[in-house]
Amino acid sequence: MPQRKKHPGTRARRNTASTAAVLAGDGPDAVIRPDLPDRDGGWHAQTVAWWDDMWASPMAGEYIDADKHALYMLAVLIDDFWLEPSQKLAAEIRLQRAAFGLTPYDRRRLEWTIETTEEAKERGDRRRQNAGVQQPPEAADPRLALVK
C-alpha cells in the first residue's frame, strides 16, 4: 500500500520556476520605453500601438536591455504582417512573442501573475452584489405527478 501524501501546505515543490514573478498590475513606473528604430516607409499604426501597449504593460518591468534587440525583431515581423498578412508571419510572431509573456498562456508558462489592486477587487464585488441574480419562484415538483 502506498504511503500517504503529506499535507499540501507542508510539501515542498521541487519544480519551482526560476522565472516566477508577481507583476505590478498598473504597469511599471520605472521602465523607460525605447523608441522604435527608424524604418524605411515608417511603421504601421498597428505596430506602433502594439509597441506602446507592450511597454505600458506589467510585463515590461521584466525585460532587460538584452531583450530589446529581440523585441525590435518582433516589431519588424509584426509590421511586415500588417503590411502583407501571411500564415508564415503569423506563426513566427506567435513563436517569438512566447518568450516575452505577451499572452495569458505565456504568462502562465513563465509563472508570471499580475497583481490585482484593491480597487479592482472592490469594483468586482460591487458588480456582483448589484447584479442580484433573481431565482425563479419555487414551483411544485413535476415528478410528484408520476406517483399520484
Over its C-alpha atoms, the chain yields an Rg (Å, rounded) of: 24
Q: Are residues 58 and 28 in contact, defined by beta-carbon separation less than 8 angstroms?
A: yes
Q: What share of the chain is helix, strand, coil (3-state, %, to 5)?
A: 50, 5, 45
Q: What is the DSSP string of 36-59?
A: PPP-TT---HHHHHHHHHHHHSGG
| Residue-wise pLDDT tens digits, 114-144 | 777 766 677 777 777 776 666 667 788 888 8
**Is this structure's pTM higher than 0.85?**
no
Q: Where are the domains of the chain?
A: 42-117
CA distances from 114 to 72, 82, 142 (A): 24, 29, 48
Cβ count near 74 (within 10 Å)? 23
Q: Tell me the longest C-alpha to C-alpha distance in the chain.
A: 84
| Residue-wise pLDDT tens digits, 34-93 | 899 999 999 999 999 999 988 888 888 888 889 999 999 999 999 999 999 999 999 999
Residue among 31, 96, 19, 20 nearest 57 (CA): 31
